[in-house]
Copies of this chain bind each other. A is one copy, B any other.
């Protein structure tokens, strides 16, 4: 087991990464004292791993709340069910929520924990690669609104992240690849050496080599922890973690969230953002090509859907990351270093869009 630390100044928590952690009582006994626990999981994950987790929590009072699967259930109503379960099971202020599942479970359960009694402790036990490298770390919780994704939410840090890499054994191939998109992102925005390592080891990752996966997860979490530690509330550097997300989000909305998984849309968005960085002469064509090649090698889509320039521009203006009307973009100034830019040549953006999305 490896243990990393997320240090936010006002609080600090560990990320444990390893095999067999869910059922390992010694992991759960490290600084997790609560006796009154609600495990929130999904209808897919609970039958696979809930018993493992209960073994790790043996001797404690554990209630459960199983949510229907899928992004369409990431709503205020679902969060409200979790709160009902907390009330119904008389979980007190000193109780604990454990989110066992992917990003949706983590976001909903974390938001419910943030709101219940104005915030009780919670632990992330992510079971998808995407959740393990991204959403479980950093304290963003929330649900969707018909008007937009993640419009309702809270910053609420977990007291620990417990990543049992064994759970990846049952992850569908397509979801594994979607998770790799966020892993690639960390290489692009922060660490050229990690990017090189990924380019060499993407085959091992796709073949689910345990050592390669554990390293990729740990390095991704290290980078995320470092960035979040500098800027918990995303007033500055944390925004670089949205690399590929503004364009990716436009693709997701324009295709009604049906054609692409989040990671797949982010992969396409990263290709677009790299291409724009190249047009603005921030990176050269070689760097842009290497990103596209790694995305392709990870089995992720590289062909941008023709959703139309005007639609993308409109969706960008509606995006949460608009500050006082300026659409800020995360671009690369070299492979391995991202910058957030509010002032750029609008013509370059439009030319890139016309070429890529029609």
Q: Which residues of B contact A115 (CB under 8 A)?
A: 115, 142, 152-154
Q: Please indicate the chain B residues that have their CB under 8 angstroms from the CB of A94 in the complex.
A: 323-324
Q: Is A276 an interface residue (CB 8 A)?
A: no
Cβ of A83 within 8 Å of any chain B Cβ, yes or no, is yes
Does A92 lie within 8 Å of B152, measured CB to CB? no
* A215 at interface by CB-CB < 8 Å: no
Chain A positions within 8 Å of B, measured between CB atoms, are 10, 76, 80, 83-84, 87-88, 90, 92-94, 114-119, 140, 142, 145-148, 150-155, 318, 320, 322-324
On whether A116 and B151 interact (CB within 8 A), knowing A92-B322, A320-B93, the answer reads yes
> A147 vs B85: C-alpha distance in the bound complex, in angstroms?
11
Residue of B nearest to A112 (CB): B152
The docked-state distance in angstroms from the alpha carbon of A121 to that of B76 is: 21
Q: Which of A117, A152, A324 has the most CB of B within 10 A?
A: A152
- B residues near A90, Cβ cutoff 8 Å: 318
CA distance A93 to B323 in the complex (A): 7
**Chain B residues in 8 Å Cβ range of A147:** 84, 87-88
Contact check: which of B93, B155, B322 meets A119 at CB < 8 Å?
B155
State A320–B145 Cα separation when bound (angstroms).
Answer: 29
Task: Say yes or no: A151 contacts B83, CB within 8 Å.
Answer: yes
Min CB–CB distance A352 → chain B (angstroms): 25
Given contacts A84-B147, A93-B323, A117-B153, 16 further A-B contacts (CB under 8 A): A76-B76, A76-B80, A76-B83, A83-B151, A84-B145, A87-B145, A87-B146, A87-B148, A88-B147, A92-B324, A93-B322, A94-B324, A114-B154, A115-B115, A115-B142, A118-B155
Chain B contacts for A93, CB-based, 8 A: 320, 322-323
Smallest CB separation, A348 vs chain B (Å): 25
How long is the Cα–Cα vector from A93 to B148 in the complex, in angstroms? Answer: 13
Task: Give the Cβ gap from A32 to chain B, nearest Cβ, in Å.
Answer: 15
A151, B117: Cβ atoms closer than 8 Å: yes
Please measure, in the bound complex, the distance between the C-alpha atom of A119 and the C-alpha atom of B235, giving whole angstroms. Answer: 12
**Given A76-B76, A87-B145, A147-B88, A152 and B116 contact (CB-CB distance below 8 Å):** yes
Q: Inside 8 A of A88's CB, which chain B residues have their CB?
A: 147
Q: What residues on B are CB-neighbors of A142 within 8 Å?
A: 115, 118
B-side contacts of A10, CB under 8 Å: 10
In the assembled complex, which residues on chain B have CB atoms less than 8 Å from the CB atom of A83? 76, 145, 151-152
Are B145 and A118 interface neighbours, CB within 8 A? no
Of chain B, the residue at the smallest CB distance from A321 is B93
A65 shortest CB reach to chain B, Å: 15
Q: List 11 A-B contacts (CB under 8 A).
A: A76-B83, A84-B147, A87-B147, A87-B151, A92-B322, A94-B323, A115-B153, A115-B154, A116-B151, A118-B153, A154-B154
Closest B residue to A148 by CB, please name it. Answer: B87
Which of B116, B118, B145, B150 touches A140 (beta carbons < 8 Å)?
Answer: B118
